[in-house]
Structure 1
Amino acid sequence: MSSTSRRRTSHTPHHRTATLALAGVAALIAAAVQAGAASAAPAAAHRAGRIDPAHAALRLTPSQRAELLRHADAGRAATARSLGLGGKEKLVVRDVVKDADGTLHTRYERTYAGLPVLGGDLVVDTTGSGATRRVVRASNAVLDVARLTPAVPRADAGKQAVRRAEALGSTKSAEVSVRKVIWAATGRPVLAYESVVGGLQDDGTPNELHVVTDALTGKKLFEYQGVRTGIGNTQYSGQVTLTTTQSGSTYTLTDGARGGHKTYNLNHGTSGTGTLFSQSSDTWGNGTTSNAATAGADAHYGAQETWDFYKNTFGRSGIKNNGVGAYSRVHYGNSYVNAFWDDSCFCMTYGDGSGNADPLTALDVAGHEMSHGVTSNTAGLDYSGESGGLNEATSDIFGTGVEFYANNASDPGDYLIGEKIDINGDGTPLRYMDKPSKDGGSADSWYSGVGNLDVHYSSGVANHFFYLLSEGSGAKVINGVSYDSPTADGLPVTGIGRDKALQIWYRALTTKFTSTTNYAGARTGTLAAAGELYGTSSAEYKAVQDAWAAVKVGSRSGGGGGGTSYENSTPLSIPDNGPAVTSNITVSGRSGNAPSNLQVSVDITHTWRGDLVIDLVGPSGTAYRLKNFSSSDSADNVNETYTVNASSEPANGTWKLRVQDQATYDTGTLNDWKVTFP
């Protein structure tokens, strides 16, 4: 098929992707175009591994972290030049993680002509000597915006955002802030407005709706809620030990051991901090709603356990990893049946439930909601589409981690989300990690439209992955709860334990994910994390592959139900509407011809995948078409396993995967491919 070009409509606002991601632990400099040739031998037996101490993140003191941030800031201009950024582009340092071997993972935002670039964030990995090893970008698009003067008035963009907020249930569009930005998360980068509308949703949740509008056409490009609503729980954590502060004869709910975290009583207000809990006794609440301090004690305990979970599990000191505590507010509003984290106030807020009878201050609520703050201050996963599902799943994953970590007899750890809230009135949880579809709306596995679901439902894919990675498939009983987790391909998954699964997810979140990471990107990110922590030949690495395959993201570690796999995981850039690129795998030591059911597994990150034509080329030079061009296939990425009748080909020799982009506007990366002989 000849090369074509066309005018492209923007992608759906619910589907954003990372166009460059990691494959395994292969070093990658973003600007490089690699030939992709490699010889592969059958994979060695997978062994359970321990975390490689060289790749363990150091527990930095606030002053050490501040010094690394200052150093990165001082060198950001040189870093921008080394990455080949244009003269109008500048980097803004956001975060840094340091490994024991000296590797630095520095997270940057970008500006263009002084304007913030939405979808311009990236993570740069450098060795102890300062050499660049890898770059992960939220978008691979080249920033070259010809027109920086809007054609649409700023006021029109604001009005559009207000109308959209009202349609979503905002009862008070109190404030509108509008700023010029560069939108680079999907398609070709353009000048845009980002409008933020304040107010309240119809359930009383504070609303900060962000609407991105094309400044030249007025078309809405994207939207997301700046405040995340979460889950609640109507049952408490029993008698616990709290860290408080005494001044004279007065005690306050101030935790000096955890960054000065404070817990306030809003007394049914909806603004400000309220009143710091203060009394003459250091015994807080009576276990019922007749005492306002009961909710304060639960919230204080939840924040305490969440802080300790992150510190003792990952070496993270607080939500921002800077040793500073957030604060909690209880008794929000009147009969407010929800709880939420708000990054703008750096605080956690709890309602009192229906009839103000059941404050939503349970342990897993704190773990879930405060983890939104961790995500906001690391990967910044956009709260929409597949990245929004990953955002919600991250809070479910770490909220579950907090519950198990606390080891509280009144609320044992489980893989049920909001199991004690009973919002449905039938005693069922909000979400199930072992089989998400049991809630009636969540997705068990990935499919092309999963990003169009509400983020609490699209999160099911990652929640299911995490459960399988932790515990494996099939029936089992954990802490008295029965689970029976299926797999999409009908093949079993062997779990590696929750502790290792948490380490892999946290490292991927903090050093691999960006704002636009989707499920394909999450797979490559978690594989990279598993490879760094445990090795690419480990049982942990294999389990990550198998758990993702079990939810229809990528292929199994053996390419299917068995056989011998040969793999090339060297990333290969796919140019926009350019010549075909080829990645090679050399097979040796086999006899006879290839089978009639040769399995070819392909992992490609690419927006508008219909542009791609993919062929397998056998040792004889014969090409076998795997995927045709399609002008109507606007979905992202290719994560497929194809079956090829290659019985006329000799098994030994060089097998090639040939990929060509045959239309303009989108680029991508061949992350990994393999051939499997059953």
Structure 2
Amino acid sequence: MKKRMVIALCSAVLFTGGIHVYGQINGKLRGTVTARDSRDNNPLAISVNEAEGVSVAQAQSFLAEQLQLIPGRDELRLVKTTSPYDGIMVQRYEQWLLGIPVEHGGYTVTARNGLITAATGHFYNTSQSAGSARPVLTSEQAMSYALKAIGARKYGWEQGPANPATLPPLNRVTSRKPEGTLVWIENRISGLGEGQLYLAYKFTVPTLEPFNMQVIYIDAANGKTLSRTSLMRHVTGSGASLHSGQVPLETTARAGGFVLEDKLRGTGIFTYDIRNNNNPAMMVDFTSTSNTAWAGPAVDVHWASEKIYDYWKSEQNRKSFNDLDSPILSMVHFREDTTAPWGNAAWIGYGMVYGDGSDGVSPLVSLDVCAHEIGHGVCQFTSDLIYERESGALNEGFSDIWGAVIETWADPLEQDGSPKKHWQMGEELATSPMRDMKNPKLRGQPDTYQGENWIPTTIADCPTPDLYTNDNCGVHYNSGVLNHWFYLLTEGGSGTNDNFKQYAVTGIGIKKAAKIAYMTELSLAANADYSACRTASISAAKTLYGNCSAEFKNVVRAWYAVGVGVLDTSCAPGPTSIADVQGQDEGIKVLNNPFGERILLRYNFNQAGTADIALIDASGRVVSRAAPRFAAGKGDYTFDLGNVYLSKGWYMLRVTTARQVFSQKLVKN
């Protein structure tokens, strides 16, 4: 039997030394590690003082030193450099192992005026690997496993366009049979969190029945599916436009009439009629004999695509969704099931599809919805956040952010002159909006991390992400936390969150907040969670506005308001979560969450002393309390709840010592 190709990562430890660990170049301290991976202790974020003078030209040697790369085995390859603003640079590096790329592994470096300010990412530790880069299966054999796993009734290459040369190049992907590429990847089906890398074939598979664009990874040793995700990103849930009145359009004259093609922006903006179908081969041009008589949802889509292109180019120095000025392709009158109208819109990996609405929802072509969908394209070509669990919620949240930002920038007023409700997503499509960034709970979303309406994302709670059965473990729900963070950062606000924490945030305005959001999205790793997003956004604020700036401090305050991180505005990123606090001098870990009749704690205290332990219910009432005395060092403690009756639901555990206060959200089962 051939040896299985596995990369084993270092096991996790509960308590590390200090969270501030320094790397060296030429014998000098150069960076401060502000977050570490709990599995292998690798740095997730590194802050660099500009006074150290680490040039961006030294980025690769800096990362090699910090991440302890093994020469001849580990590589970080520069794949993209982005310069969104004057003096600001973001470099994205991709991790390679034995000459093969590592999916979701890599690092980004941010710099100001040529000096590194921060580095963030996820680097897989491969030091214990004895694996081989030689596959057992051929690409063709792996493809047969992939098609069996997907099980579609019809694939894109089985009914391609009659004349693909007449269509935009990106559309030809739907008629092309995929070829496998070798990568290393974690087992995201059953082994997420185990920290092992497997050699796999990666395929991007277009399907027509059902309509989708899927990325699937097949183990190169045995044909098992290691990961599977959809590139389809749903909203859920001059011509006369439906939502913005009379608007100007760039069109192209053709054969005695006009078509919805804008050839003045980038390499083109193309808006097609897919004629109540789901097969791109069926799409045709929208035509009109008069260039001033355009009407219907295609007008909204074409005009919105033009305004969205203009925003990204003028405000963020980004050319189209991929920063390569690729054409923007939209298909209107799309139906997932050709027998019924489709009440949705989606990014499909290379363009957008827009349905005509259903069940009281008008065609999903408002400016904020279009900006949301193209925002998914921006995400795909920046951080490429995995569309499941917390990273998927961030993916959705960033798209909502761009919907609000671009609507405010391009079309802030309703047709009657009243201000648009830009903090509501899709408010023009039906009597109720899809989401509300100002008050996410109004639409069933959480406004606090792991608070009310939060959808559990752990493997135990959501073993297999699925777009249709569990919303890929809550991506359209848990995005409310990022949405509310952005609202507070922009507008400001005060109150008490679901963690019973009082907060006060001073708004910095939507333009500055958008710059921080974009820098954050440029910097995140594909598997980032809310903790990583907080760290990256703080680094972005530091790079853009300075380490002790008001913008920096209010980024921290806004995250505290939504339950992510501590309220530390002392000009350093500070710990993000209870897991990060455990890496410092003292720590508390709950061993049984959800809990039953007792709560099991593991502690590490530098000093002996008495602690106040309180369990608090959702109304803020202390329902159980203890005041044990702890010895210095590590140990376990059982917080017995006695005869107190506790209903099922969420509670807050608070442990107060003479030095610090620890708190964690718990669930009673």
> Is the TM-score greater than 0.5?
yes
Q: State how 1:191-340 maps to structure 2 within 5 Å.
A: 191-200=199-208, 206-216=211-221, 220-231=225-236, 235-246=242-253, 250-259=257-266, 260-269=268-277, 270-272=279-281, 274-286=283-295, 294-333=296-335, 334=338, 335-340=341-346
Shift in CA distance, 127/295, structure 1 to aligned 2, threshold 3 Å:
closer
- The equivalent residue for 1:526 is 537
Q: CA deviation at 1:568?
A: 8.2
Deviation, structure 1 residue 555: 1.2
SS of the counterpart of 2:281?
coil
Return the alpha-carbon distance in structure 2 between the equivalents of residues 366 and 118 of structure 1. 29
1:645 equivalent among 650, 654, 657: 657
What is aligned with 2:173? none
Aligned to 2:371: 367
> Shift in Å at residue 405 of structure 1?
1.5
- 1:541 and 2:552 matched: yes
Paired position in structure 2 for 1:467 = 487
Query: Does structure 2 retain, via aligned residues, the 8 Å contact 1:508–1:525?
Result: yes
Structure-2 separation of matches of 1:152 and 1:33: 46
Q: Per the alignment, in what secondary structure is the counterpart of residue 346 of structure 2?
A: strand
Distance 1:9 1:486, change over 3 A: farther
Structure 2 residue identity aligned to 1:501: A
Q: Counterparts of 1:338 and 1:179 in 2: how far apart (Å)?
A: 32
CA 112–228 in structure 1, closer or farther in 2 if over 3 Å, else same? same
Secondary structure in structure 2 of the residue aligned to 1:493: strand
**Other-structure match for 1:124:** 109
Trace 1:10-25 onto structure 2 (pairs within 5 A): none
Cα distance in 2, alignment partners of residues 35 and 249 from structure 1: 64
Could you say if the C-alpha distance between residues 403 and 126 of structure 1 is closer, same or farther in structure 2, counting changes exceeding 3 Å? closer
| 1:405 aligns to 2:409 (yes or no) | yes
2:476 — aligned with what?
456
Task: For residues 589-639 of structure 1, give each alpha carbon's deviation from its aligned partner in whole angstroms, at most 9, with x where no partner exists.
Answer: xxxxxxxxxxx7999xxxxxxxx976342599984659999xxxxxxxxxx
Equivalent residues of 1:626, 1:642 under 8 A apart: no
Shift of 1:367: 0.5
Q: Distance in 1 between matches of 2:359 and 2:33?
A: 66
Deviation, 1:309, is 2.2
Q: Which residue of 1 aligns with 2:562?
A: 551
How far 1:537 sits from its partner (Å)?
2.4
> Structure 1 length as normaliser, TM-score?
0.64
The Cα shift of 1:581 comes to: 11
Structure 2 residue 500 is matched with structure 1 residue 489? yes
1:615 to 594, 599, 604: 604
Q: Tell me, in whole angstroms, the C-alpha distance in 2 between the residues paired with 1:494 and 1:487.
A: 16
Shift of residue 399, structure 1, vs aligned partner: 0.9
* Aligned-pair CA distance for 1:394: 0.6
> 1:220–1:627: structure 2 CA closer, same or farther, 3 Å change rule?
farther
Question: What SS does structure 2 have at the residue aligned with 1:419?
Answer: coil
Structure 1 contact 488–550 (Cα < 8 Å) conserved: no
Relative to 1, partners in 2 of residues 1:9 and 1:106: Cα closer, same or farther, differing over 3 Å?
closer
Question: Which secondary structure state, in structure 2, belongs to the residue aligned with residue 318 of structure 1?
Answer: coil
| Equivalent in the alignment of 1:478 | none
Aligned length: 521
Partner amino acid, structure 1, of 2:154:
K
1:508 aligns with 2:516: no
Residues 120-199 of structure 1 correspond to what in structure 2 (within 5 A)? 120-125=105-110, 134-142=118-126, 144=129, 146-150=131-135, 158=143, 161-162=146-147, 164-166=149-151, 170-172=152-154, 178-184=180-186, 187-199=195-207
Distance 2:30 2:438 in 1: 40
Aligned partners of 2:155, 2:363: CA distance in 1, in Å? Answer: 27
- Between the aligned residues of both structures, percent identity stands at 27
Q: Give the unaligned 5+ runs of structure 2.
A: 1-5, 10-18, 35-49, 51-55, 157-176, 187-191, 463-472, 590-600, 610-629, 639-651, 663-669
Partners in 2 of 1:283 and 1:540 — Cα distance? 45
Identify the match of residue 400 of structure 2 among 396, 410, 429.
396
Q: Distance in 1 between matches of 2:575 and 2:348?
A: 40
Code of the residue aligned with 1:122 in structure 2: it is Y
Q: Distance in 1 between matches of 2:178 and 2:82?
A: 35
Q: What SS does the aligned partner of 2:487 have?
A: helix
Match for 2:81 among 77, 93, 96? Answer: 96
Deviations 1:431-484 (A, max 9, x none): 222333333365642379346433111212211222222223469xxxxxxxxx
The answer (yes or no) to whether the contact 1:348–1:369 under 8 Å persists in 2 is yes
Query: What is the identity, as a one-letter code, of the residue corresponding to 2:90?
Result: H
In structure 2, give the amino acid aligned to 1:615.
N
Q: How does 1:13-92 map to 2 (within 5 A)?
A: 84-92=69-77
CA separation of 1:113/1:280 partners in 2, compared to 1, >3 Å: closer, same or farther?
same
**Cα drift, residue 546 of structure 1:** 2.1
Q: 1:147 to 1:322 in 2, by over 3 A?
A: closer
Task: Tell me the secondary structure at the aligned position of residue 276 of structure 2.
Answer: coil
- Residue 375 to residue 173, structure 1, CA distance change in 2 (3 Å): same
Inter-CA distance 248–134: structure 2 relative to 1 (3 Å threshold): same
1:569–1:430 CA distance, 2 compared to 1 (3 A): closer
Change in CA separation of 1:454 and 1:235 when aligned onto 2, cut-off 3 Å: farther
Alpha-carbon displacement from aligned partner over 1:141-178 (angstroms, at most 9, x marks no partner): 23645233456786786566445545xxx553566754
Shift of 1:353: 2.8
**For residues 35 and 387 of structure 1, do their structure 2 counterparts lie closer, same or farther at Cα, with a shift above 3 Å needed?**
closer
Q: Which residue number in structure 2 is paired with residue 42 of structure 1? A: none
| Contact 2:231 2:347 (C-alpha < 8 Å) held by counterparts | no
Structure 1 residue corresponding to 2:348, chosen from 342, 363, 368: 342
Deviations 1:118-163 (A, max 9, x none): 122321346766x766432223423645233456786786566445
* Secondary structure of residue in 1 paired with 2:280: coil
2:388 is matched with which residue? 384
1:518: Cα distance to partner? Answer: 0.7
Q: CA RMSD of the aligned region, Å?
A: 4.8
**Cα distance change of structure 1 residues 539 and 76 upon mapping to structure 2, 3 Å threshold:** closer
Q: Secondary structure at the match of 1:454?
A: helix
Q: Residue 189 of structure 1: SS of its match in structure 2?
A: strand
Cα distance per residue 1:12-35 (max 9 Å; x no partner):
xxxxxxxxxxx99x9978999999
Q: Structure 1 residues 536 and 36, CA, compared in 2 at 3 Å: closer, same or farther?
A: closer
Alpha-carbon displacement from aligned partner over 1:371-416 (angstroms, at most 9, x marks no partner):
0011111111111121111001110111111121222423824222
Pick 1 or 2: higher relative contact order, CA cutoff 8 A, min separation 6: 1
Q: Give the Cα separation in 2 of the matches to 1:342 and 1:32.
A: 48
Q: Deviations over 1:66-120 (max 9, x none)?
A: xxxxx99xx9998986773541445544321237675532113233334331122
SS of corresponding position for 1:267:
strand
